[in-house]
Chains A and B, each alone.
Chain A
Amino acid sequence: EAGVVQSPRYKIIEKKQPVAFWCNPISGHNTLYWYLQNLGQGPELLIRYENEEAVDDSQLPKDRFSAERLKGVDSTLKIQPAELGDSAVYLCASSSRHNPSYNEQFFGPGTRLTVL
């Protein structure tokens, strides 16, 4: 079974530029999560999707961040414009209610963003 795939793995941009991250969850996983992980910290949830519906986006800074999961599979997270403080690792995870351990979240390798 292929794991969660994310791209790009690394991205360096200048401040005020836009950036987008892509995630492909494990096949059949209906729930998709985007997390932000700052250096030396635990992941923090940005948004959670159930199929194509964003069921919790309360922690997403909506002035500059947006996300979509149009067909309930792949997802894109966008930042526009990026700020210096956005430098972090952006993790995608997925889970399935049909798994015996239905709460288990499987993480992708993350995208390390550096804003100069």
Chain B
Amino acid sequence: GENVEQHPSTLSVQEGDSAVIKCTYSDSASNYFPWYKQELGKRPQLIIDIRSNVGEKKDQRIAVTLNKTAKHFSLHITETQPEDSAVYFCASLLGGSQGNLIFGKGTKLSVKP
């Protein structure tokens, strides 16, 4: 079946450094790629998303890039802060499904003060 691979599974950075999380998807018909942040014991919350007609999207310290040819997309967090510590999930919308998201296994980001 279709899947999304996410790397790394854990990431530790110093406060102020940048963090990059990468995902690869298999369904070439996917056209929507959200990123969710999940703090311990809480609900996943959308932090940024990108559609296939755009190569990059930025929102303050967070940016997402998409390479459709290579079927890669990445999350970039600059000037990390301790409150960025959480588990981040990438996902892709299954082509033609109109709603089925396939999630990666998550990246646990730790930002050390």
CB-CB under 8 A from A42, the residues of chain B are 4, 6, 89, 91, 103-106
> Does A14 lie at the interface of the complex (its beta carbon under 8 Å from any beta carbon of B)?
no
CB-CB under 8 A from B36, the residues of chain A are 107
Query: How long is the Cα–Cα vector from A104 to B32 in the complex, in angstroms?
Result: 9
Q: In the complex, which of the residues B42, B44, B46, B97 contacts A56, with contact meaning CB atoms closer than 8 Å? A: B97
Are the C-beta atoms of A41 and B99 separated by less than 8 Å?
Answer: no
Residues of A in contact (CB 8 Å), total 25
Are the C-beta atoms of A91 and B44 separated by less than 8 Å?
Answer: yes
Are the C-beta atoms of B42 and A48 separated by less than 8 Å?
Answer: no
A1-38 interface code vs B (CB 8 A; 1 in, 0 out): 00110000000000000000000000000010100000
Are the C-beta atoms of A31 and B43 separated by less than 8 Å?
Answer: no
Query: How long is the Cα–Cα vector from A43 to B36 in the complex, in angstroms?
Result: 11
> Does A40 lie at the interface of the complex (its beta carbon under 8 Å from any beta carbon of B)?
yes
B interface secondary structure, majority: strand
* Residue picked from A42, A44, A48, A103, most chain B C-beta under 10 Å: A42
B49-63 interface code vs A (CB 8 A; 1 in, 0 out): 100000000000000
Are the C-beta atoms of A103 and B49 separated by less than 8 Å?
Answer: yes
Q: Which of B55-113 contact A (CB under 8 A)?
A: 89, 91, 93, 97, 99-101, 103-106
Are the C-beta atoms of A107 and B99 separated by less than 8 Å?
Answer: no
CB-CB under 8 A from B100, the residues of chain A are 45, 48, 56
Are the C-beta atoms of A41 and B49 separated by less than 8 Å?
Answer: no
Can you list 22 residue pairs at the A/B interface with Cβ under 8 Å? A33-B99, A40-B106, A42-B6, A42-B89, A42-B91, A42-B103, A42-B105, A43-B44, A55-B99, A56-B99, A91-B43, A95-B99, A103-B32, A103-B34, A103-B49, A104-B34, A104-B46, A104-B49, A105-B99, A107-B43, A109-B43, A110-B43
Q: Which chain B residues have a beta carbon within 8 Å of chain A's beta carbons? A: 4, 6, 32, 34, 36, 42-46, 49, 89, 91, 93, 97, 99-101, 103-106
